[in-house]
Amino acid sequence: MTTSHLASLNRIAPLAVCLFGITLQSSIRAQQTATPVDKFSLLPGFKVELLYSVPRDREGSWVNMAVDPKGRLITSDQDGLLYRVTPPAIGGNPASVSVEPIDLKIGQAHGLLCAFDSLYVVVNGKAAEGSGLYRVRDTNGDDKYDEVKLLRKIEGGGEHGPHAVVLAPDQKSLIVLGGNHTKIPNPESTRLPRNWGEDLLLPRLWDANGHARGILAPGGWICQTDPDGKSWDLISSGFRNEFDLAVNPRGDVFTYDADMEWDIGTPWYRPTRICQVVSGGEFGWRSGTGKWPDYYPDSLPAVVNIGPGSPTGIGFGTGTKFPKKYQDALFICDWSFGKLYAVHLTPDGATHKGTVETFAAAAPLPLTDVVANPIDGALYFTIGGRKTQSGLYRITYTGSEPTLASKPGTLPNEVRIRKELENLHKRDSQAVAKAWSFLGHPDRFVRYAARIAIENQPVNEWQERALEEQTPMASITALLALARQGDASVQERLFGSLGRLAGTNLTEAQTLDALRVLSLAMIRMGRPSEQTSRDISERLLAVYPSQSGLINRELAAILVYLQTPGIAGKTLALMIESPSQQEQLHYALILRNLEGGWSLDQRRTYFSWFIQAQKYKGGASFRRFVQNIKQDAVDLLSASEGKALADVLNAKAVEDVAPAYDMNRKFVKDYTTDELVAELQKGLSGRDFARGKRVFATVACYSCHHFAGEGGAAGPDLTGVSGRFSFHDLIESVVAPSRTISDQYQSTIFVLKDGSDVAGRVANLAGETLMVVTDMLAPGDFKNVQRDQVESTRPSTVSPMPEGLLNGLSLDEIKDLVAYLQSGGDRNYEAFKN
């Protein structure tokens, strides 16, 4: 599996191979067949049709699609031309589909949009005049496009190049986006203050395999422009490789950002995720180990995390003749794992929260784009990319639920406030007065919008007010703005203002925000004086470690940055005692920067950890990242230390290294769901938080699951499990994991013609080769399967999660584990009170 989406080759298919103006007949189509519909799993009440198997030798592999005003589809070959497709009527013969090449020298589109009597095309490659936004028109009214005009050149190409174009919420302009290998196309204005930076307190490690090396902020970007493409405005940035955008009827904009699956198993890994695109939004992508955690207040979090995958096209069900739930759903395409998800979004203050449902799936199914067609009420999607077999499909609803057009709900008050603040994301003499009272608002998106309005004004207009603000949350937000926009002359006063917060009862989130302000003041304004550094070190060391794992992460980084005496022992203890490999790796990464203050025994303990780490699993860059962390630490050793530690520094991997969790505990009992539920229903008072967390690690939960800021991402995030599962469902999912397997994580069994079989998930495709991941903890290890050697496929009935995980635990340990899961990571949860 590569880092995301669709390779764009640097050529345009010769026009001579295309049959311009001629409808291609079914005899040509029959030579190659896309994934048959009988291989699909689809929600009840829906029907899927294969309308067209794209002949690769003539029309390539389709990656993009748009609906024209007559309900026809415009499609693009990844390496070739554009096509106009007239689908058959609903209930008609699928073979009657008409496909016509568009007789113009333009193609290689990653973005298509029909609007303003034009076809807008985002070229990603060398078609026409190269990558950029183009406007294509029919100038003589004969229903054929005949004019191509470049509106703005965009520097970039390939998988992380320029991508989508969509109609903006105002219905009067366009939104265009590019991945993180694409330069922002010289926007005339920007909602984000232009002084963006990496904002990393400690040196980053670039990707160990070289991906995105040297690429700096702002990363992937989103711009708005007028229909003529003359004036561009930067709306949002900090994405890795967002491929598409979707706008709901209320005017909310969403994107589906890519992961870096080579990072799986590391603390800086971020899963694919849905983000709500707001004015001035920064989403924290930085290359290598530099990715910001989503709790940083100078960025915004995801609406919902999806997990490992490869995001391509997205679109709302608006205009479909589907039940209301699916008209309102955001449909998203995962190219790697062959899933068409329905994301159900509900208002959550000034933003949304979401849940994910597998709507359609097959193997292989390299989804590239999805669009709703308001003319016939159907949902269309394409598969293809990277020269794989392409196809056009249609989904219709055949069930009995009502399909009346859905109407937008009432606008929450927080959304109204946010939008009013976003109107101030420019120079405005009234902005400070209007926005200031919202800097302490309980809604994070409102606070963020207020701060961006402030930051867009000259700093001398609000600097003193920021330093003097007394309300804790408003003070933190104002000082965050000052740390980003002020200069070194105010650093000491900023530290003083932060110091006033020490006597207040800050929440964990507020404490994390304040620590980020402290870090930014040092990142942007320089290292403090020796006396100030000592003062900060003493105050932070006195509360380190805290009971919060996330706070400890930030404290450790600041204390190591300041080279604080005594920090080695405390941080090393956290590293060794941490229950997950991700947490251990985080502290190993930080400690590699600590130059002095080590005892020889502490050095030995630190470097001994790398022997254990050789047993850990992760993505394609994981092992080299670990090696590079170790090498950075070795480079800080004196000659005498290197000599004294030679044995541990040169130690090879051993087979009997203890894992981070114990899967070989002595058998206690083969528990049943009913007996455990009966015990749990008696109550969970007086439980032990620390032991619950320890047990979570013992049964390997952290290896696959994210929980309260720690752990992996191969399985679902369990932080909110208490709100989704009863005791019975929770226990059954552990005792009998194969009884119910989520489509999102289900493997496929490929039965081959030689009688053998391969079980796993298709994660990449290359021509006729299916690249199957058989172990989600090692996503870079593939088993290659040739498509023509597959006899049959079937869903696996065995869960990736092993059975018997609880059989080595005592009943008290199980109760502590369940209490820990119910708590969401909160030590103050009622079950932990005596």
Measured CA to CA, the distance from residue 538 to residue 285 in angstroms comes to: 32
By mean pLDDT, which of 81-90, 240-249, 482-491, 609-618 is the weakest?
609-618
pLDDT bracket for residue 376 (50, 70, 90): very high
Mean local confidence (pLDDT), 272-297: 98
By mean pLDDT, which of 17-26, 295-304, 522-531, 671-680 is the weakest?
17-26
pLDDT bracket for residue 9 (50, 70, 90): very low
> In this predicted structure, what is the pLDDT of residue 741?
63
Tell me which residue has tokens 């909160």. Answer: 826
Are 372 and 391 spatial neighbours (Cβ–Cβ below 8 Å)? no
- The token duo for 646 is 């030679």
Q: Greater confidence, 543 or 693?
A: 543
Whether the pLDDT of residue 16 is over 50: the answer is no
pLDDT bracket for residue 656 (50, 70, 90): very low
Helix orientation angle between 530-541 and 491-499, rounded to the nearest 10 degrees:
20
> In this predicted structure, what is the pLDDT of residue 17?
28
Tell me which residue has tokens 């109550």. Answer: 683
Phi then psi dihedrals of residue 660, to 5 deg: -70, -10
Q: Tell me, rounded to whole angstroms, the distance of Cα 123 from its chain centroid.
A: 25
> In this predicted structure, what is the pLDDT of residue 767?
63
Q: What is the largest CA-CA distance in the chain?
A: 83
Report angle CA 237, 242, 246 to the nearest 5 degrees.
100
pLDDT bracket for residue 642 (50, 70, 90): very high
> In this predicted structure, what is the pLDDT of residue 13?
31
Q: What is the CA radius of gyration of the chain?
A: 28
By mean pLDDT, which of 72-81, 338-347, 753-762 is the weakest?
753-762
Pairing verdict, β 62-67 and 378-383: unpaired
Pick from 437, 363, 384: nearest CA to 41: 363
pLDDT digits (tens, 9 = 90+) for 590-599: 999 999 999 9
> In this predicted structure, what is the pLDDT of residue 540?
97
By mean pLDDT, which of 22-36, 138-152, 461-475, 700-714 is the weakest?
22-36
Whether the pLDDT of residue 26 is over 50: the answer is no
Measured CA to CA, the distance from residue 625 to residue 266 in angstroms comes to: 9
> In this predicted structure, what is the pLDDT of residue 587?
98
> In this predicted structure, what is the pLDDT of residue 653?
66
Q: Greater confidence, 366 or 775?
A: 366
Are 170 and 138 spatial neighbours (Cβ–Cβ below 8 Å)? no
> In this predicted structure, what is the pLDDT of residue 685?
86
Got the DSSP string for 677-738?
A: HHHHTT--TT--HHHHHHHHHHTTHHHH-EETTEE-SSS---TTGGGT--HHHHHHHHHSTT
Mean local confidence (pLDDT), 357-386: 96
- The neighbouring-strand residues paired with 122 are 111, 133
Pick from 544, 577, 537: nearest CA to 559: 537
Tell which phi-psi region holds residue 385, choosing left (phi > 0), alpha (psi between -120 and 50) or beta: left
By mean pLDDT, which of 353-362, 409-418, 547-556, 757-766 is the weakest?
757-766
Sign for the CA dihedral angle at 526, 532, 537, 540 comes to negative
Tell me which residue has tokens 């059989």. Answer: 807
Whether the pLDDT of residue 144 is over 90: the answer is yes
Mean local confidence (pLDDT), 79-89: 97
- The token duo for 617 is 């699993």
Mean local confidence (pLDDT), 155-165: 96
pLDDT bracket for residue 52 (50, 70, 90): very high
Are 174 and 167 spatial neighbours (Cβ–Cβ below 8 Å)? yes
> In this predicted structure, what is the pLDDT of residue 204?
98
Query: What is the chain's mean pLDDT, rounded?
Result: 89
